[in-house]
């Protein structure tokens, strides 16, 4: 009886999490005299197609350049406005005196096809091609 319960739970978990799920994580770090930046990209695939992606950009400004943090934050805020009101796209911006963190999340299941193409993902996007694209741009992916 316990074996049947265990098997039932296992099957239910399999259907809840789905089969054919995969992900790709890419990171890129850069440093210069003004500070450092880290870009984290996470892409989820379901049955070989992109279904979710998020891009996080973190900029840490060195103390000597902190007066420029407001200019950078304002620039990010203006860039993120391009996504306002778009189905399936959420943005978040956190700032401090020396750090700017921007996050954009894309739920491709809710997005229009034109928006998917605008961000570089559509129904033909494959994991190996996406990985190669980001690695060619200096990201480390796994």
Distance CA 44, CA 112 (A): 18
Q: For each of the chain's 142 residues, which pLDDT tens digit applies? A: 444 444 344 344 444 444 568 999 999 999 999 999 999 999 999 988 899 999 999 999 998 988 888 888 899 899 999 888 999 999 999 999 899 999 999 999 999 988 888 888 876 788 999 999 999 999 999 9
* 91 close to 81: Cβ distance less than 8 angstroms: no
Domain residue limits, the chain:
20-141
- As given in the structure block, the two tokens for residue 68 are 């420029």
Residue indicated by tokens 């098997």: 7
| Tokens 């789905």, residue located | 18
Q: Determine whether domain 20-141 maps to CATH 3.30.1830.10.
A: yes
Report the C-alpha gap between 121 and 129 in whole angstroms.
Answer: 11
pTM higher than 0.95, yes or no? no
């Amino acid at each position: 009886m316990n074996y049947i319960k265990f098997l039932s739970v296992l099957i239910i978990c399999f259907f809840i999490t789905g089969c054919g799920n995969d992900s790709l994580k890419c990171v890129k770090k850069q440093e210069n005299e003004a500070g450092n930046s880290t870009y984290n990209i996470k892409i989820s695939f379901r049955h070989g197609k992109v279904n979710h992606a998020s891009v996080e950009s973190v900029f840490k400004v060195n103390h000597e350049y902190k007066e420029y943090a407001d200019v950078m934050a304002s620039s990010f805020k203006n860039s993120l406005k391009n996504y306002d009101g778009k189905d399936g796209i959420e943005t978040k911006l956190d700032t401090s005196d020396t750090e700017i963190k921007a996050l954009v999340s894309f739920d491709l299941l809710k997005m229009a096809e034109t928006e998917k193409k605008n961000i570089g993902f559509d129904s033909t996007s494959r994991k190996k091609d996406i990985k190669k694209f980001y690695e060619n741009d200096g990201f480390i992916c796994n």
